Structure 1
Amino acid sequence: MVLATNALVLLLTVSQLTCAVYFVDVNSPKASDANPGTAELPFKTINRAAQLVQPGDVVVVKAGIYREHVRLTRSGKPGAPITFIADPPGSVILTGADPITGWERVDGNAPIYRVPWKHRFVINRRPDGSLVEHHPDDERHKLWGRAELVIVDEKLCLPALTLDELRVAWRRHVEAVKSGKPSPVLQPPLPNLGGPFAGMFCADTKNQWLYLWLADGSDPNSHQVEAATRGALFGLSPWENRDGVRFVHVRGFVFRHAATFPQRAAVWLHGSDNLLEDCIVEEMAGGGVLVHGAMRRCVIRRCGHTGGGSAGTNFLNEDCVWEGNSWKPIDRGWDAGGFKLAWAKDGVFRRCVFRRNGGPGLWLDIHVRNVIITDCTFWENEHHGLFVEISRDITIVRNLFVRNGIGIVGKVEWPDWGIAGLTIAESQNCVVVFNTFAGNKDGIALREQGPRPLKTDDYGVIPYHNRGHVIVGNICAFNRGYQLALWYDNGFFGWHPAERDKFKTEAAYEAWLKANPDRVFDPTKVGMVIDRNLYWGEKGQKLILYGVPWRPKHREFNDLSEWRKATGFDQQSLIDDPKFVNPQADDFHLLPDSPAHHLNAGRFGAG
């Protein structure tokens, strides 16, 4: 805090030489947006300052709760950013929620209350003119794809679609409580992700009522009830401001409780060369944040959908934490995780933590390229720790992957194959070196269902499939399934059960493969290097999978000699206990006599 205060003094001193410094203080009795924005006569809202700032200006926001949307459209310049600073850091809460009072009880036995509700969050309009209030626009997401959010005594409430559903849920809740059982309707969608929940609500946007019941049946008027009334908190979306902003720095804020949809952020700093630093982004209904530029020392947690982060071109995520995001059951095959980014390039993730997120911890999907992921940890995510899909030139070095995909935050639903600490799917030229994989569903997995042709601006049409990977110097130990798994659902390993009706005989299938060589990927002939890795498994844990179990030519290997003969891979690798210091206490450093030192392998063994 002293360092932060000293930095603020220095920044203000420099800025005062040539640029304006504006003050905002929601709690000051003198605050008004008609003021000049000085320390003595501050603005009431941050948005007022945002409409005045010029390159080099600084906005100092004093402690308090700010219930507004800062609609920033102005940009800074190189060497003269526009800067928003919370003073002191962490004391400024920018929220999308407002207090809701004046609840009246609804007729009936259930303690359901209501208030007038004029807010309607719309993401699109259908061809027939009807409004879309959930995303994606399908039956599966009619409930969980909505943007409403209700908070009671700082705890979230679960949603229902209709008043009738709310009544049914109350009856089930009461019956369980009377019998001494946990409420079946106030459980998180995934057993250990999300919650606890204070009650259940329903937004009837057609008749303009907000309904609510609380877990103890009490009157909401005796509680602090808030509901999200704003769909964004800072900045404008690309649909409102296509080019975004540049050279905008934001430091020390807490952003929470916006009515966001899946794939929509509450904090928008898209454009380029922006910075979000020492901030918390939490408990949004859907998405959290999007920055084009850099994020440092930020925490992104408990967002209903993906937390978001820094992406675009020339991006940096450093010392950030993603935890408990994607707790809503949005389709995991569509978009999920702590952070998912697509079409991004030239970026770095450094010393970041991805912990207990729904879906993958981090998902790079669709032509993400030239990205380095280093010194990060991936803990207990629902699916993969890190999922690289249809991407290229990704460097994954000195990371730790622990207990991903094994059901800690909920059982992984089918299709559950190919889930691992790290899964690389239909991608190329990835470097995976000096990482440690312990206790995951699988350690390292390569998934192949290619080719997956993709038209790109920089490389033309890429037939994406696994090729050119370097997987060297890793420790894969105690993973529940395989330490290394090549999940190749590919003709090289024989025909798929679904293809038997089409081809009738294996000879006919083999003839088709010869006529379509681009459909056959021999893992040993696609320029991959796999070597100097350390493998170890306990009883029941397998070493290596080669091909998928439903294709007849797949194989499993539990010693390296046969694996080497079959593939040529892992000529200098070992099977041996890595001798972690204390894996039961999650200490994966290496004892002095660990064989990993000889291989220069693992997150803590590489010199």
Structure 2
Amino acid sequence: MKKFGKILLIGLSLGLGLAIGNVQTPAASAAGTEYYVATSGSDSNAGTSDAPWKTLQHAADTVPPGSKVYVRGGVYKEKLKITRSGSASQGPTVFASYGTETAIVDGTGLSVSGNEGLIELADVDYVTIQGFEIRNFTTASKNAVPTGIYVHGAGGFINLSDNKIHDIKNTATPTGKDRLGRDAHGIAVYGTKAPASIHNLTINGNELYNLVLGSSESLVLNGNVNGFAVTSNLIHDNDNIGIDLIGFEGTAPTTAYDQVRNGVVKGNRVYNNSVRNNPSYKSDDNSAGGIYVDGGKDNIIEQNYSYNNDIGVEIASEHAGKTTSNITVRSNVIYNNRLTGIAMGGYDDERGSTVNSKIVNNTLYKNDTLDDGSGQLLVQYDTRNNVIKNNIFVASSTDVLIYNGYTQNSGNVVDYNLYFAPGGSSGANWTWKDKEYTGFPTYKSGTGNDAHSLFADPKFVNATNGDFRLQSSSLAIDSGSTDNAIIGTEDIDGEPRVKGKAVNIGADE
């Protein structure tokens, strides 16, 4: 009887403890341990595979550095904010969908307060987010900014991989002459401190789509971000910019650190991103770049496909007196974009400049699908000491290859390119330093550009079906200048440069 009574008393105490929240959950054990979360779990469990926790937030607040948190398939209608780091010695703290299952973090019905991520990493190091579907984080409130994954502050060794992010939306009505107040992001990384940066950042293999962004971007790095790789992502069907590297917006507290720098954007496929149905822009605006560097420096854009956007790739600065500098754009395939293939320089004379950058070994094909004459390369306000070599430019029906409507253009080297246009050599059109030239010989003699360049059909294998490899009879083969920016790199297909007696012109070696 006494024994039975004691057991009953313990059971009663546990029941009361659970009811009033006084019983501590089992302590997480040594670093490197695996923990589990499942929709059928309980946060009073031990977090094992047989007794999983229920919420992502409980796991984030409990596990020691270096733990692996496996999240079983199902829908988790909660926000996750991670403020605890992994470590160099224990390894990263990993949050990942379990096996072949998909854990869905769903924001349906959740409010958005200020700049907020459905998954948020604040001032952390050594954290990995992998294999989640992140969706339905929306607001109709002006100046609230919903984001799929939001990283901010300072920190390093952060890995965001293999996530599917969609239906992150701000549907507020923009106001004022600049149509502001409507913003959202799929992935946003904001380096908001100085000198401490966000560094050793990897964003790989994610898919971002069906995002309603207003004035903002699908995937953005902004401020004090120093050292990153944005690779092999699929970004499509959004209503603004695909990938953006930003400087000079005041995101970092010190101007000297307020630039995204020393990174690579490689192997991404970016398409169908346009502002044409976005109420934050005028109906005739076509400013959504597939890949955009706005005020960044010392970055490489390579081996990407960018098509059916407003602009294929843009390297520019929106801030007067500020420069985008030392950007290398190489071995990309850029085609069928609405306004132009590559744009550089400030978009008007109240903006900044593009300097000391290289646009080399790209293939640009029939951009300017709007037929407004912006051509394959749009050279805008204040471009200085840039190199434009070894590119294939194939004009749209406008026959415009390069359009440069500003005279603030100095020290730029344009050579060893291959041009082609429907109107032939005599009908092709270039504008340089605000002067128009029709015909390839006239353009060369009038500008001094392209002394070693060619005008010929590049003979792609099947451009209509997106195959921009060169046929063996193409004059682009072995006809380029082996610039230092291309030696030892790879072409669009991962083939090594250089194979023949000289580098090929275009993205294919």
Change (3 A) 1:309 1:247: farther
Change (3 A) 1:386 1:264: farther
Does the 8 Å CA contact 1:349/1:372 hold for their aligned counterparts? yes
Does the 8 Å CA contact 1:437/1:479 hold for their aligned counterparts? no
Q: Which amino acid aligns with 2:95?
A: F
Q: In structure 1, what is the equivalent of residue 496 of structure 2? A: none
% same residue:
25
Q: In structure 2, what is the equivalent of residue 577 of structure 1? A: 457
CA–CA distance in 1 between the matches of 2:457 and 2:150? 47
Q: 2:467 aligns with which of 584, 587, 594?
A: 587
Q: In structure 1, what is the equivalent of residue 7 of structure 2? A: none
The structure whose residues are more often strand, as a share, is 2
CA–CA distance in 2 between the matches of 1:75 and 1:481? 55
Q: In structure 1, what is the equivalent of residue 172 of structure 2? A: none
CA–CA distance in 2 between the matches of 1:297 and 1:604? 22
**Helix, strand or coil at the partner of 1:445:** strand
**Helix, strand or coil at the partner of 1:257:** strand
The structure whose residues are more often helix, as a share, is 1
Change (3 A) 1:317 1:89: farther
Q: 1:546 aligns with which of 429, 432, 440?
A: 432
Change (3 A) 1:17 1:69: closer
Q: In structure 2, what is the equivalent of residue 357 of structure 1? A: 273
**Helix, strand or coil at the partner of 2:147:** coil
Change (3 A) 1:345 1:254: same
Q: 1:373 aligns with which of 273, 298, 301?
A: 301
CA–CA distance in 1 between the matches of 2:100 and 2:29? 20
Measured against aligned partners, the alpha-carbon deviations of 1:540-576 in whole angstroms (never above 9, x if no partner) come to: 973311244xxxxx222321x3222222210000111
Deviation, structure 1 residue 68: 0.4
Deviation, structure 1 residue 480: 4.0
Q: How many residues matched?
A: 378
Does the 8 Å CA contact 2:112/2:146 hold for their aligned counterparts? no
Q: In structure 2, what is the equivalent of residue 477 of structure 1? A: 394
**Helix, strand or coil at the partner of 2:452:** coil
CA–CA distance in 2 between the matches of 1:316 and 1:440? 27
Q: Which amino acid aligns with 2:127?
A: V
Deviation, structure 1 residue 602: 4.0
Q: In structure 1, what is the equivalent of residue 44 of structure 2? A: 34
Q: In structure 2, what is the equivalent of residue 392 of structure 1? A: 325
Q: Which amino acid aligns with 2:226?
A: T
Does residue 68 in structure 1 map to residue 81 in structure 2? no
Q: In structure 1, what is the equivalent of residue 179 of structure 2? A: none
CA–CA distance in 2 between the matches of 1:434 and 1:249? 34
Query: What 5-or-longer segments of structure 2 have no aligned partner?
Result: 1-27, 170-183, 190-197, 248-259, 275-287, 318-323, 346-352, 369-374, 481-503
Q: In structure 2, what is the equivalent of residue 304 of structure 1? A: 212
Measured against aligned partners, the alpha-carbon deviations of 1:30-59 in whole angstroms (never above 9, x if no partner) come to: x11111211111100111100112221111
Change (3 A) 1:436 1:322: same
Does the 8 Å CA contact 2:31/2:65 hold for their aligned counterparts? no
Deviation, structure 1 residue 19: 2.8
Deviation, structure 1 residue 81: 1.1
Deviation, structure 1 residue 16: 9.1
Does the 8 Å CA contact 2:38/2:55 hold for their aligned counterparts? yes
**Helix, strand or coil at the partner of 1:234:** strand
Q: Which amino acid aligns with 2:210?
A: R
Deviation, structure 1 residue 17: 7.7
Deviation, structure 1 residue 428: 0.6
CA–CA distance in 2 between the matches of 1:16 and 1:590? 58
Query: What 5-or-longer segments of structure 1 have no aligned partner?
Result: 1-14, 99-118, 125-230, 327-335, 406-418, 449-464, 491-520, 549-553
Change (3 A) 1:46 1:603: farther
Q: 2:262 aligns with which of 346, 359, 363?
A: 346
Deviation, structure 1 residue 375: 0.5
**Helix, strand or coil at the partner of 2:188:** strand
CA–CA distance in 2 between the matches of 1:121 and 1:298? 23
Deviation, structure 1 residue 603: 3.9
Deviation, structure 1 residue 123: 4.1
Q: 1:404 aligns with which of 319, 337, 346?
A: 337
Q: Which amino acid aligns with 1:432?
A: I
Q: 2:38 aligns with which of 25, 36, 44?
A: 25
Deviation, structure 1 residue 484: 3.5
Deviation, structure 1 residue 488: 3.0
Measured against aligned partners, the alpha-carbon deviations of 1:295-322 in whole angstroms (never above 9, x if no partner) come to: 1111111111121155622011111111
Q: 1:233 aligns with which of 107, 118, 134?
A: 118
Deviation, structure 1 residue 468: 1.1
Measured against aligned partners, the alpha-carbon deviations of 1:446-475 in whole angstroms (never above 9, x if no partner) come to: 111xxxxxxxxxxxxxxxx31111111000
**Helix, strand or coil at the partner of 2:443:** helix
Does residue 78 in structure 1 map to residue 7 in structure 2? no
Q: 1:445 aligns with which of 369, 378, 382?
A: 378
Does the 8 Å CA contact 2:330/2:507 hold for their aligned counterparts? no
Highest RCO, 1 vs 2 (Cα 8 Å, sep ≥ 6): 1
Does residue 466 in structure 1 map to residue 383 in structure 2? yes
Q: In structure 2, what is the equivalent of residue 318 of structure 1? A: 231
Q: In structure 2, what is the equivalent of residue 247 of structure 1? A: 126
Q: Which amino acid aligns with 2:388?
A: I
Measured against aligned partners, the alpha-carbon deviations of 1:39-93 in whole angstroms (never above 9, x if no partner) come to: 1111001111001122211111111111100121111122511111111256111
**Helix, strand or coil at the partner of 1:94:** strand
Q: In structure 1, what is the equivalent of residue 444 of structure 2? A: 564
Q: In structure 1, what is the equivalent of residue 64 of structure 2? A: 54
Q: TM-score, normalised by structure 2?
A: 0.70
Deviation, structure 1 residue 256: 0.7
Change (3 A) 1:245 1:472: same
Change (3 A) 1:437 1:375: same
Listed as ranges, the matches of 1:275-314 within 5 Å are: 275-285=159-169, 286-291=184-189, 293-305=201-213, 306-309=217-220, 312-314=225-227
CA–CA distance in 2 between the matches of 1:589 and 1:90? 38
Does the 8 Å CA contact 2:417/2:454 hold for their aligned counterparts? yes
RMSD across aligned C-alpha pairs, in angstroms?
2.3
Does the 8 Å CA contact 1:446/1:466 hold for their aligned counterparts? yes
Deviation, structure 1 residue 120: 6.4
Change (3 A) 1:469 1:16: farther
Q: In structure 2, what is the equivalent of residue 265 of structure 1? A: 147
**Helix, strand or coil at the partner of 2:402:** strand
Deviation, structure 1 residue 262: 7.6
Change (3 A) 1:543 1:22: same
CA–CA distance in 2 between the matches of 1:379 and 1:73? 38
CA–CA distance in 2 between the matches of 1:51 and 1:402? 47
**Helix, strand or coil at the partner of 2:58:** helix
Does the 8 Å CA contact 2:221/2:246 hold for their aligned counterparts? no
**Helix, strand or coil at the partner of 2:354:** coil
Q: In structure 2, what is the equivalent of residue 420 of structure 1? A: 340
Does residue 96 in structure 1 map to residue 107 in structure 2? yes
CA–CA distance in 1 between the matches of 2:380 and 2:265? 23
